[in-house]
Structure 1
Amino acid sequence: MFNIPCVLMRGGTSKGPVILASDLPVDVQERDAVLLSLMGAGHELEIDGIGGGSPQTSKVAIVSPSDSPDADIDYLFAQVMVKERRVDTTPNCGNMLCAVGPFAIEKGLVTPKNPVTTVRIRNLNTGTFVDAEVQTPDYQVSYEGDTQIDGVPGTAAPVGLTFLNSAGCKTGKLLPTGNTTDVFDGVEVTCIDMAMPMILIDAHQMDKTGSESPADLDSDLAFMQRLEKIRLKAGEVMGFGDVTNKVIPKPVLLSKPTAGGTIKVRYFMPHNCHKSLAITGSIGISTATIIEGSVAHKIISDLPKDAFTNIVNIEHPSGKITVSLLKCGNKIENTRASVIRTTRKLFEGNVCVPEIALAEAI
């Protein structure tokens, strides 16, 4: 048995351990074997680890000093599968991202300022940069505050996240297929790569209203099979090849808002519907609303013209996420998007991993 220092943190609507890269094996196979063991992957409850038994609570953030002159720290996100013994580091996670800045400051990787410290983060999964504004009154990280986000009880200190160069994060193109819309299995979609590769679909084209609960969508096996069929076709055309064992691209159902927002979404991870919405997903969805001819733009096209502002309110199963868009020049690819999230430190200490876990990597 060996011990790995970690801090269990809630980041936005996600939760998982945040670990220094220097406390994990350098070899990728050995590192992943350790992550599988410490999270308890391969069991639906992750009963033999600290994972929470759902994709939102089976996440790991790995942090290190950055060797890039444009960043303070590097962040590698690892999605640990719940029922499978597999780790996926292809996507980014914007919710866990908001825990990374406070962690880095408390670990001495970034010098705090008073009252707010901006931490420039390079996401190693996508090669993109994000500014995180962390509350540091009197040069100390503060987790307490009066900011509330939907999907999380109570309030906490705000963490502002600004995504600086998210267009084409995995494919090199905002619209990877070269088209504003494509048709797969008779369904019109928009394939977009902005912070997260996604397939945007009008819910009505899938015989859904867009207001269904995540549980209802997950239990509709015929619908889920059709959604996966579209995802597999889109993934190939987007340049990812066979995405059967990949968590990108993410399929997203879009519909008209019903609670005063700009647009309503049901976001898949990709085989379960998110109970709220991934932050990286919100960046791409909000950007799509300003791309003329996209599925998102068509859905909101009959909203009053004064509704088209730089603020996009996205309705999701747990409430709303507000995204602020800043156009830099005439190209949508240069758009920057900002969101406000919260984070909390839950515990810090050592997670115990059996030595036999490394044998899995051999």
Structure 2
Amino acid sequence: MLAPSNKNALRVPCVLMRGGTSRGPFFLETDLPGDPNERDRFLIAAMGSPHVLQVNGIGGGNPMTSKVAIVSRSSQPGADVDYLFAQVATDRAFVDVSPNCGNMLSAVGPFAIEAGLVPAEIGETTVRIFNRNTSTTVEAVVQTPAGVVEYEGETAIDGVPGTAAPIKLTFLDALGSKTGAFLPTGHVHEFIENTPVTLVDYAMPMVLLRASDLGLSGDEPPDELEANLPLLERLEAIRLEAGLRMGLGDVSGSVVPKLAILSAARHGGTITSRYFMNAHRCHKGHAVTGALCIAAACRLPGSVAHDLATPSLTSLVNLEHPSGRTEIDLSFDASGQVLRASLVRTARRIFEGNVIVPASAVAAPLEGMQQGGTHAQDHHTPTALLRNSSGINDDRRTL
């Protein structure tokens, strides 16, 4: 529930955290409006959208730094906390809760422990996280050697300077995260716009393409790909048709499904990827969920990924991307189907305090605001937007 800073502004507790190669504010759900539309208007104002630099908010002017995590105690059997990811557009008044973000997810465990939602153990603390965007569960192992979260360590991940404590993420049920099937169309290989594609859903619905089929080498820098307007138009046409075939409907207003342009590994890894976060932005590194999806597809004979992957496949998949590599560890059931996928990330708590937004930005719809994505758990009883200034929200005490 929101607290007034003065009659014209709202003050809401948040913690800015880096999760993997992403960054954004973390909120307790109880501190935000219960109505999804009011919540989205608050997030847009807090991040400073719509503005490409987000100069009037705390966003970073880039999809990797315009992300939000909303955390609460879980009512799901076997889960400790619920995590709702929100991607806030930089250039329009739009919040998308269709996808999950595995990088931001890596900071959910530390945040939940320090917010008092999960008691810390001595040594390591396992936090079971229910992702509301995809209705899947992820197990995070957080370093808590003295019964408190330890962020310092010797683990390095490509795309982030320095080292930090490792956080192991294991995706327990990522198969068919949004579509309900590993192969939503039932085909390993098909054509869209006369281009071979594999449409697959593991942790993230994706369209996998071969770089050579697009006239590319596959190791182009992201900026070069983003400047290739004919390529972007072709990719978006393919993505829109893929969304229809995968049962996702009209995806013109969503960032799902994602796209990856694949090629052979060049530096001793398994495969090379260029991952598109939306219709015109190529990731400077790689998304976690996208990496898991490509890793699973590498084990799928006949898929675009399998045809490009190194012949000597093992349970470890090393995905090469513009910032380096991401290593994914796959486990399989008796039939050879991917059962679980794990990888190691790091996180950092950057600052804690309150974000202040104009009350008017939350109370009334923004002109031109687009409706965000939906997910299975996005139904809340609306709460009062402003509370009595003498009221105390007890859930804030541990922030």
User: TM-score of the superposition, structure 2-length normalised?
Assistant: 0.88
2:177 maps to which residue? 169
Q: Deviations over 1:142-175 (max 9, x none)?
A: 0100100000000011100000000011010000
2:287 maps to which residue? 278
- Cα distance in 2 for partners of 1:46, 1:7 equals 18
Which amino acid is the alignment partner of residue 308 of structure 2? I
Shift of 1:331: 5.0
2:388 maps to which residue? none
2:325 maps to which residue? 320
1:308 aligns with 2:308: no
1:295 maps to which residue? 304
Shift of 1:308: 1.1
| Percent of paired sites with the same residue | 53
Q: Deviations over 1:212-234 (max 9, x none)?
A: 00000000000000010100111
- Cα distance in 2 for partners of 1:196, 1:354 equals 35
2:241 maps to which residue? 233
Q: Deviations over 1:55-110 (max 9, x none)?
A: 00000000000001210000000000010110000000000000000000001100
Specify which of 95, 99, 102 is matched with residue 110 of structure 2: 102
Query: In 1, are the aligned partners of 2:45 and 2:362 still within 8 Å (CA)?
Result: no
The number of residues matched between the two structures is: 357
Specify which of 32, 46, 53 is matched with residue 40 of structure 2: 32
1:348 aligns with 2:357: no
Which amino acid is the alignment partner of residue 294 of structure 1? S
- Cα distance in 2 for partners of 1:360, 1:79 equals 21
Q: Which has the higher helix share?
A: 1
Which amino acid is the alignment partner of residue 328 of structure 1? D
Q: CA RMSD in A?
A: 0.9
Shift of 1:361: 3.3
- Cα distance in 2 for partners of 1:8, 1:74 equals 18
Matches within 5 A, 1:92-131: 92-131=100-139
Name the SS for the 2:244 alignment partner: helix
Q: Deviations over 1:294-330 (max 9, x none)?
A: 1100112xx34xx211000000000000000011231
Matches within 5 A, 1:181-196: 181-196=189-204
Which consecutive unaligned segments of at least 5 residues does structure 1 have?
Answer: none
Structure (1 or 2) with the larger CA radius of gyration? 2
- Cα distance in 2 for partners of 1:288, 1:262 equals 12
- Cα distance in 2 for partners of 1:69, 1:136 equals 24
- Cα distance in 2 for partners of 1:312, 1:125 equals 25
Runs of 4+ in 1 over 4 A off after TM superposition: none
Which amino acid is the alignment partner of residue 327 of structure 1? F
Specify which of 183, 198, 209 is matched with residue 201 of structure 1: 209
Q: Which has the higher contact order (CA 8 A, sep 6+)?
A: 2
Matches within 5 A, 1:226-265: 226-265=234-273
User: TM-score of the superposition, structure 1-length normalised?
Assistant: 0.97
Q: Deviations over 1:26-57 (max 9, x none)?
A: 00000000000000011000000000000000
Shift of 1:335: 1.9
Name the SS for the 1:255 alignment partner: strand
